[in-house]
Structure 1
């Protein structure tokens, strides 16, 4: 169990931790000289297992000692994130002071619901004064999550009352049940150093998941810094261990990185969670004692588990029409950050004014990857309200039900920190589609609706264009679900095809009942055109040249070529330039060969050399490959190139 201290400067937090554990948490010369805490301090006390202890009960009690000075509130916030239990310290002689109130407010905003009050320095106050301050504290705690917490009158110097607090804390720790571990691992590095014979070590509190010796993880910053690392060794609560779970204080010995590359606030996490964001949708609560209301686009400092960022707040609900978020009220907001962060749904945040002098409020992240547009639509607000539900299955079901085009599986994992096995258990009826570009999941209703939309669009098209064999796949995707990735849409079409609900003729998708054949005369003309395209190989004749050679009008040639293109016998690369199917297959094979090079890139100059002709023609063909999903353009100018997408290759269209 991890306990975090809180309270005003010089109220005896560090002295009390030393009395409880025997460890002095101050380590900086300045701290010792000034007698105050500046940096986070850590101490541990072993627990003796008693008969009847819960299975897996804690073997040690951990303390995080935080600074009490107003200037160091950001440090206090970083230390308080992830604690299990709060120990609020108030000196009997001083009573409740400004940082007492601010630290208590922060504990409330961080969602910490369990704690105790240490009424310190009782040997310096009269019994009447002790009773008076105890009454103040009871009143102060009443509107917070810590209402009703036990109060221990004590003196850390003389030892009065310390044993009673120690007994209470040890009993809690022994009965503490383990937090859920079925999530990806997340830890924020609050210290880093190198140890002779061991190498790089970071310390931090485990926010989620479990780390094991031998794990391969990512040491990352949201600005793009990434290092693959391996866990060489672990110490949990200052003891050698094989694993560390949620709430544990861990020292992690890493290989694959030099300690000089690591910064405070870096994340050690599962690679799937290293997805940065600059927007957060939140449920934000403004403290009753906040000095002002927050209007649209108010500037604040947003504190998160790894540090802080400047943010501007967009009000999403009817708070905007009411003129702003008033003290003591809550609202749905979107925080637009000045720098990227890593965040998951459920993370707690605290906001202070832009100057960082006053704590204004806080809340929980609902969606770490929100869209910038349409953020106030009723459906979006309803989804955010659903995300506030405590039960994970209900939250995920609401998210999935709101996504007509399904959800990117990587984004879902990163947003909710849900490994595959976990979301599959929570959403047993969800439909997963796997492609080489990644996975996507749909609700059963959305998947069925997509199929019905395809059938409806094809029916309408056949009625309007009875002489056309069907609709080319990419055009059909734009008609049905333009935002859906091509490979996912293809998977839906192929399932409908396997079920016999649709059919395909070349590149044209159609209903099974719809048939269009070329007349004998048109078939003869089409064959003549195809023969000339095939003879032209990588440099086929243009429409005007075909028209002249076959003594047909350009309009008739163009119409015939488009019809046979829908049948998959040819492909239109640019206006009035068609390639035979066999030639396109050859060019796809050449592109695959070029992509097998060291950097995996296909450059126009190299492709030109393989097919002959000019650079312009090579670019036209590569851009055609981009359009049909066979390749993807990367870079610009002299660095422009194309890479294989691994989906929907052009020569498989027929």
Structure 2
């Protein structure tokens, strides 16, 4: 499968407050990214700003101008999560500052490995000072993802700087990524607003996949379905947007039902998580990170509180790399290999970052001494454990994973071979553990029915489905597939819509056999074809035992239950049905009187039997007449 080549890239600015990030973008693009009155008044960026530039080659660069002030790091993170490359801005007259270093650490944790370092305001210092600052920057970025970045000197008053920057941008403006191109679409919302006469507008970076105008997309955490009414990319209406682009979407959803931090995705069953595991690398820490410390996690454009689970005597120190587990206080929707950033709860300082290695972990303390590297197979197993009982292996199945299609199908074959999953038919697979638990639950329910009602054939199918529904909420087709498969495996059997254990058959004792003889004698001597069930209570046994015996005879088709109060023999019932069929061979309409004369039954018995035929869909009543239902 050939990957699409994108002619666009999203570049974020980073750096200390008032180092010239917004001025640089304005000089490059002619677009003012400070969009709030407070920003223009104070001269600093408070919210992320957006601009775009078409390069001489035809490629498009989208810019995210993030705030540099320490109080707006949260906003900076929301923008940085969706960038492909960075311009790290450092003012020549001020040099390296606290937010420069914090932004650098964040970019390193996010794995941003494309971009350049721009020393702005070069006209305010000497050549010697520029060289000294460049050397300091090289030392600072050594052993980070920004190591080896070009260092560009810039002044907004020198147009030759703009031309030089355009050449630099051309070198990393085109890129390709097969996994991102063909993955399910994901967009973390960073802005929401409404336009009169248009409706709800959301913006964000399409980090994976492709979206089309008119398609359905799902909003999380609300799990709301909405239609994409319109798409704009860099201010221009388009029919299709692809991964890596900054987009604005006009959605068929109320403005108050979607917010910054929400996820939009084509995945219609994106499973949330409250426990993740990540490979964390820490920065310089003023204090060690302790077990159960409350932290802030940043994923996508979302911020959630969490606790870190290390073990009571464990701690994490500066510049340490290790696997950790985080217990979240709010749900997130994530995938393996998603980047995350951790900050302290108070004071708010960036502690470190890394990537998610388990998106739906079980509660545990990660043992560093024997911890195995997380692999693709574990990711797939984790996703399956949080899926419905049955799943279909098709291309869309892998949309919730970070796997390519070829790798995904390869792992499925491996899991089938190792009996981690089972193939029930061409459209249904199940985790072996889940399937075994489901079968055990069904066998237990059927066994309980046999113990409580030993004379009955088994448990009614719908009753059985309702009993297991709390643990395994199966659709009707999934339940029927389960029953059919268990019958094929000779675990259970079905008769007259009743489910019993495969080798089960009721056994009558001598008292029960004598009672059945009495039941049949009462029927034979009864004046009418339909016999009231209460007439059998003259037998000197407990009422419940008598009724169990009657249902035993009904289940084994010796008697037929006409309604809740009357029964008749199967022999007489079949004769009555045959007379009904014979009559409709030559007639279209049957009256009560005509059927009474045919059978010789009383009018009361005739009416009850015809009403029974109506219920079982043999006949259809029209006033006092019946017609045959053709089936």
Global fold match (TM > 0.5): yes
- Corresponding residue of 1:574: none
The answer to whether 1:510 aligns with 2:501 is yes
CA gap 1:262/1:404 in 2 versus in 1, 3 angstroms = closer
TM-fit CA distance, 1:210: 1.5
TM-fit CA distance, 1:228: 4.1
- Corresponding residue of 2:145: 145
- Corresponding residue of 1:496: 486
The answer to whether 1:34 aligns with 2:42 is yes
CA distance in 1, matches of 2:388, 2:513: 40
- Corresponding residue of 1:251: 248
CA distance in 2, matches of 1:297, 1:285: 16
The answer to whether 1:3 aligns with 2:11 is yes
Query: Cα deviations across residues 308-344 of structure 1 (Å, max 9, x unaligned)?
Result: 222233x1xxx4154233332323213221x444444
Alignment of 1:282-431 (within 5 A): 282-313=277-308, 315=309, 319-320=310-311, 322-327=313-318, 328-337=320-329, 339-355=330-346, 357-370=348-361, 375-376=363-364, 388-389=374-375, 391=376, 395-397=379-381, 400=384, 416=401, 427=412, 429=416, 431=422
TM-fit CA distance, 1:191: 2.8
The answer on whether the counterparts of 2:279 and 2:357 sit within 8 Å (CA) in structure 1 is: no
Query: Cα deviations across residues 45-84 of structure 1 (Å, max 9, x unaligned)?
Result: 11344xxxxxxxx831111111100011011011111111
CA gap 1:568/1:385 in 2 versus in 1, 3 angstroms = farther
CA distance in 2, matches of 1:582, 1:523: 25
- Corresponding residue of 2:430: 442
SS at match of 1:42: strand
SS at match of 1:173: coil
SS at match of 1:27: coil
- Corresponding residue of 1:129: 129
The answer on whether the counterparts of 2:12 and 2:87 sit within 8 Å (CA) in structure 1 is: yes
Alignment of 1:79-118 (within 5 A): 79-118=79-118
The answer on whether the counterparts of 2:456 and 2:551 sit within 8 Å (CA) in structure 1 is: no
SS at match of 2:135: helix
SS at match of 1:290: coil
- Corresponding residue of 1:617: none
CA gap 1:281/1:263 in 2 versus in 1, 3 angstroms = closer
The answer on whether the counterparts of 1:285 and 1:329 sit within 8 Å (CA) in structure 2 is: yes
CA gap 1:265/1:247 in 2 versus in 1, 3 angstroms = same
Alignment of 1:545-556 (within 5 A): 549-552=538-541
CA distance in 2, matches of 1:113, 1:540: 83
Query: Cα deviations across residues 263-315 of structure 1 (Å, max 9, x unaligned)?
Result: 433443336156555x13121525131222233321122222233222233x1
- Corresponding residue of 2:587: none
TM-fit CA distance, 1:185: 2.6
CA distance in 2, matches of 1:30, 1:147: 36
The answer to whether 1:43 aligns with 2:51 is yes
CA distance in 2, matches of 1:101, 1:551: 92
- Corresponding residue of 1:269: 265
- Corresponding residue of 1:628: none
Structure 2: which 5+ residue stretches go unaligned?
A: 1-8, 568-631
CA distance in 2, matches of 1:420, 1:304: 25
TM-fit CA distance, 1:509: 3.2
CA distance in 2, matches of 1:178, 1:30: 42
- Corresponding residue of 2:25: 17
The answer on whether the counterparts of 2:323 and 2:366 sit within 8 Å (CA) in structure 1 is: no
The answer on whether the counterparts of 1:433 and 1:440 sit within 8 Å (CA) in structure 2 is: yes
CA gap 1:414/1:540 in 2 versus in 1, 3 angstroms = farther
TM-fit CA distance, 1:205: 1.2
- Corresponding residue of 2:71: 71
Query: Cα deviations across residues 468-494 of structure 1 (Å, max 9, x unaligned)?
Result: 999759999999999545665763342
The answer on whether the counterparts of 1:192 and 1:262 sit within 8 Å (CA) in structure 2 is: yes
Partner residue of 1:233 out of 211, 230, 234? 230
TM-fit CA distance, 1:365: 3.7
The answer on whether the counterparts of 1:294 and 1:324 sit within 8 Å (CA) in structure 2 is: yes
Structure 1: which 5+ residue stretches go unaligned?
A: 50-57, 571-578, 587-654
Partner residue of 1:525 out of 496, 500, 515? 515
Query: Cα deviations across residues 531-574 of structure 1 (Å, max 9, x unaligned)?
Result: 99xx9x9x987xxx97x632125796698689889x7989xxxx
CA gap 1:157/1:564 in 2 versus in 1, 3 angstroms = farther
CA gap 1:150/1:472 in 2 versus in 1, 3 angstroms = farther
CA distance in 1, matches of 2:65, 2:20: 11
CA gap 1:560/1:109 in 2 versus in 1, 3 angstroms = farther
CA gap 1:510/1:259 in 2 versus in 1, 3 angstroms = closer
TM-fit CA distance, 1:406: 5.0
TM-fit CA distance, 1:395: 2.7
CA gap 1:449/1:259 in 2 versus in 1, 3 angstroms = closer
- Corresponding residue of 2:610: none
TM-fit CA distance, 1:174: 3.3
TM-fit CA distance, 1:441: 3.9
Query: Cα deviations across residues 5-31 of structure 1 (Å, max 9, x unaligned)?
Result: 111112221222223323222222222
TM-score when scaled to structure 1?
0.67
The answer on whether the counterparts of 2:186 and 2:206 sit within 8 Å (CA) in structure 1 is: yes
CA distance in 2, matches of 1:124, 1:358: 31
Aligned-residue Cα RMSD (Å) equals 5.0
CA gap 1:171/1:232 in 2 versus in 1, 3 angstroms = same
Indicate the larger mover: 140-149 or 95-104: 140-149
Residues matched between the structures, number? 533
CA distance in 2, matches of 1:3, 1:526: 86
- Corresponding residue of 2:205: 205
- Corresponding residue of 1:640: none
